[in-house]
Chains A and B, each alone.
Chain A
């Protein structure tokens, strides 16, 4: 396999990894604030549908992208109501959010299957795209991919270097101490759920605005679940999330190209790879160590009066 085939695989890796990267960072933000939200798949497909809908009617992909994020964030607030107002079970509520999101998008989206809408197309970044090898891989993508390059760094900077980020982290580590410091951990968790949902929605929007310019039922096809697994794989750190998302994107891109060059392996075996990798990843990352722990108060509700 020569360079002329490896470069397209790596370029496709970035593209297939991007929706997962957005969603992984979204779930990571929510979990860092102390709330487990298994509704990623639901929020993603919600975002994918509304992105398509808005772009279809307005012809403005950027407006569609923004609306998808905000609407998915608002949709995710259903989880906040259950967990932060009524102290409901976070696992059950998250699952319900996924089922509801997929169902709603299916129900509302059926009339739009097969239509097309404006979206993002690849363009070359001046100068950078003429770099040998790297230019072809990283700088001939679409605007949403370029945006995603900055996200892990922004995420890291926000969580570690800003007052609000540190406060969100505190709500996830020790809500009682956070409260004692004069902050309101419940409000911080509301924010964590909302902005996490926004990022998940943006990941979904990538599928219907850039990856394809089409909408179909169930188009997230399990990518939300991969994102949930990747948060654990990444030990709740944004840099590793980027690595993990591209690892998955790479496997998806690779198996199709392996078939294309005429590999005689059964295709079922190749298609299984990303999912087999999910299990392996979870096995390996379950070995705990320093700097690998989940936020201490992850999944623990804040009881009133605490």
Chain B
């Protein structure tokens, strides 16, 4: 019985794959996307899939995607299948796909590989990510302006540089408008576990936090804020639907500003391996529309700062910046290099909690 089902599934898969290749015209550029979670999650993969959809609207391009692909051996298999099937460009959107993609990239020198959030490249593989910390700094300005208790809660996924960088930028934003405020961090060690992430937010509310921010993919923390009557800041995409009364804004991804540009380059033959790290000025990251409770004055202040970041006159990680212990990490007059940012493993002054 199980065997029969297996054969049937296999047959169905072959049929679907065959269908895909016959429909695509010979000259169509085929673009594959690999996601780590389901696209319906209103979160990280959802944001990437919106980017894919704008690629799909381009002329002479066919897109394909595989969702919920675990990092590691499964990723190698999926990426390998895509390359063998003849995809011309493959986007892998999770950190753990880096080594699998690198391995497959060596085997398929004529295929273009794009890996998100890593640092390794090859002649036919680029690394890319977005300067989410810029949007988080702006979100911090909002949170710092709205808090009354001067305690802001932040539910973090894993203590890795990407998340810590975001917490630091957020805290710098908070303290720029409200030097007395502190940002309390709770690690959940999950990317998407609504129950744990909601509980983490509740624990922060219990200690007096009146604004909840998150680097988690589930809307659990938003729910907690809405129920407790405090404010919230979302992540990935506009999370206002989950907490209409609490949601101040969200730090969001906008991959539609990046993916079509890459595809255009490939089509013209201008693509070369690079390390892309685009931000607010290119539109890859942004803030979601403000909630009604954010006063006009605060909105104007945040928008002014956004313009300064966009035109390069303001840098988020400009010294002097001290760490939790009061030691100066970035000197006055200096700006953190990208290398420092990608390896950031310390917390700035004003963050409360363990950095591991």
A residues sitting closer than 8 Å to B (CB atoms) are: 5, 8-9, 12, 16, 110-116, 121-122, 207, 211-214, 216-219, 221, 252-253, 256-257, 259-268, 271
Q: How far is the CA of A5 from the CA of B205 in the complex (A)?
A: 10
Interface size on B, residues (CB 8 A): 42
Is the Cβ of A260 less than 8 Å from the Cβ of B186? yes
Is the Cβ of A212 less than 8 Å from the Cβ of B356? no
Is the Cβ of B207 less than 8 Å from the Cβ of A211? no
Q: List 13 A-B contacts (CB under 8 A).
A: A5-B207, A8-B206, A12-B203, A110-B40, A113-B38, A114-B46, A114-B219, A115-B40, A212-B198, A212-B223, A216-B194, A256-B200, A261-B184
Query: For residue A256, which residues in chain B have a CB less than 8 angstroms away from its CB?
Result: 186, 188, 199-200, 203
Is the Cβ of A214 less than 8 Å from the Cβ of B220? yes
Chain B's nearest CB lies how many Å from the CB of A196? 23
Is the Cβ of B186 less than 8 Å from the Cβ of A221? no
Instruction: Identify whether the interface residues of B are mostly helix, strand, loop, or mixed.
Output: mixed
Query: For residue B40, which residues in chain A have a CB less than 8 angstroms away from its CB?
Result: 110-115
A263: contacting residue among B159, B193, B218, B354, CB under 8 A: B354
Q: How far is the CA of A212 from the CA of B201 in the complex (A)?
A: 12
Query: For residue A268, which residues in chain B have a CB less than 8 angstroms away from its CB?
Result: 189, 356
B68: contacting residue among A110, A114, A115, A263, CB under 8 A: A110
Q: How far is the CA of A265 from the CA of B209 in the complex (A)?
A: 21
Minimal Cβ-Cβ distance residue in B for A213:
B223
| Known interface pairs A116-B242, A212-B220, A221-B193; A260-B184 also in contact (CB < 8 Å) | yes
| Known interface pairs A256-B186, A259-B203; A216-B193 also in contact (CB < 8 Å) | yes
Is the Cβ of B38 less than 8 Å from the Cβ of A271? no
Is the Cβ of B195 less than 8 Å from the Cβ of A221? yes
Q: How far is the CA of A267 from the CA of B155 in the complex (A)?
A: 12
Q: How far is the CA of A221 from the CA of B195 in the complex (A)?
A: 9
Is the Cβ of B186 less than 8 Å from the Cβ of A259? yes
The answer, yes or no, to whether B289 is at the interface (CB within 8 Å) is no
Is the Cβ of B203 less than 8 Å from the Cβ of A212? no
Is the Cβ of B204 less than 8 Å from the Cβ of A271? no
Query: For residue A211, which residues in chain B have a CB less than 8 angstroms away from its CB?
Result: 195, 198
Q: How far is the CA of A268 from the CA of B193 in the complex (A)?
A: 16
Which residues from 340 to 356 on chain B have a C-beta closer than 8 Å to any C-beta of chain A?
Answer: 352-354, 356
Is the Cβ of B199 less than 8 Å from the Cβ of A252? yes
Q: How far is the CA of A217 from the CA of B218 in the complex (A)?
A: 12
Minimal Cβ-Cβ distance residue in A for B207:
A260
Query: Which 5 pairs show the lowest CB-CB distances between chains A and B?
Result: A267-B187, A262-B352, A256-B203, A8-B206, A114-B42
The answer, yes or no, to whether B282 is at the interface (CB within 8 Å) is no
Chain B's nearest CB lies how many Å from the CB of A45? 12
| Known interface pairs A259-B353, A263-B354; A219-B195 also in contact (CB < 8 Å) | yes
> Between A and B, how many residue pairs show CB distances below 8 Å?
112
Q: How far is the CA of A16 from the CA of B352 in the complex (A)?
A: 25
Minimal Cβ-Cβ distance residue in A for B182:
A262
The answer, yes or no, to whether B264 is at the interface (CB within 8 Å) is no
Minimal Cβ-Cβ distance residue in A for B227:
A121
The answer, yes or no, to whether B144 is at the interface (CB within 8 Å) is no
Q: How far is the CA of A214 from the CA of B219 in the complex (A)?
A: 8
Is the Cβ of A212 less than 8 Å from the Cβ of B195? yes
B187: contacting residue among A110, A212, A259, CB under 8 A: A259
The answer, yes or no, to whether B279 is at the interface (CB within 8 Å) is no
With A212-B220, A259-B187 already in contact, 9 other A-B pairs whose C-beta atoms are closer than 8 Å: A9-B206, A12-B199, A111-B40, A122-B227, A216-B41, A216-B192, A253-B199, A259-B186, A261-B184
A214: contacting residue among B46, B184, B194, B227, CB under 8 A: B194
Interface string of B34-73 (1 = CB under 8 A from A): 0001101111001000000000000000000001100000
Query: For residue A253, which residues in chain B have a CB less than 8 angstroms away from its CB?
Result: 199, 203
Is the Cβ of B202 less than 8 Å from the Cβ of A259? no
Is the Cβ of A260 less than 8 Å from the Cβ of B203? yes
Query: For residue A221, which residues in chain B have a CB less than 8 angstroms away from its CB?
Result: 190, 193, 195-196
Chain B's nearest CB lies how many Å from the CB of A136? 12
Query: For residue B153, which residues in chain A have a CB less than 8 angstroms away from its CB?
Result: 260
Query: For residue A219, which residues in chain B have a CB less than 8 angstroms away from its CB?
Result: 193-195
Chain A's nearest CB lies how many Å from the CB of B196? 7
Chain B's nearest CB lies how many Å from the CB of A245? 15
Q: How far is the CA of A211 from the CA of B354 in the complex (A)?
A: 27
Query: For residue B184, which residues in chain A have a CB less than 8 angstroms away from its CB?
Result: 260-262
The answer, yes or no, to whether B185 is at the interface (CB within 8 Å) is yes
Q: How far is the CA of A166 from the CA of B203 in the complex (A)?
A: 43
Is the Cβ of A216 less than 8 Å from the Cβ of B186? no
Query: For residue A252, which residues in chain B have a CB less than 8 angstroms away from its CB?
Result: 199
Query: For residue A122, which residues in chain B have a CB less than 8 angstroms away from its CB?
Result: 227
Is the Cβ of B218 less than 8 Å from the Cβ of A16? no
| Known interface pairs A212-B194, A214-B220, A216-B218; A259-B41 also in contact (CB < 8 Å) | no
Q: Which of A9, A16, A267 has the most CB of B within 10 A?
A: A267
Query: For residue A114, which residues in chain B have a CB less than 8 angstroms away from its CB?
Result: 38, 40-43, 46, 219
Query: For residue A218, which residues in chain B have a CB less than 8 angstroms away from its CB?
Result: 193
Is the Cβ of A266 less than 8 Å from the Cβ of B218? no
Is the Cβ of B199 less than 8 Å from the Cβ of A259? no
Q: How far is the CA of A265 from the CA of B189 in the complex (A)?
A: 15
Interface string of B201-235 (1 = CB under 8 A from A): 01110110100000000111001000100000000
Chain B's nearest CB lies how many Å from the CB of A41? 14
Q: How far is the CA of A271 from the CA of B190 in the complex (A)?
A: 11
Minimal Cβ-Cβ distance residue in A for B151:
A260
Is the Cβ of B223 less than 8 Å from the Cβ of A271? no
Is the Cβ of B203 less than 8 Å from the Cβ of A267? no
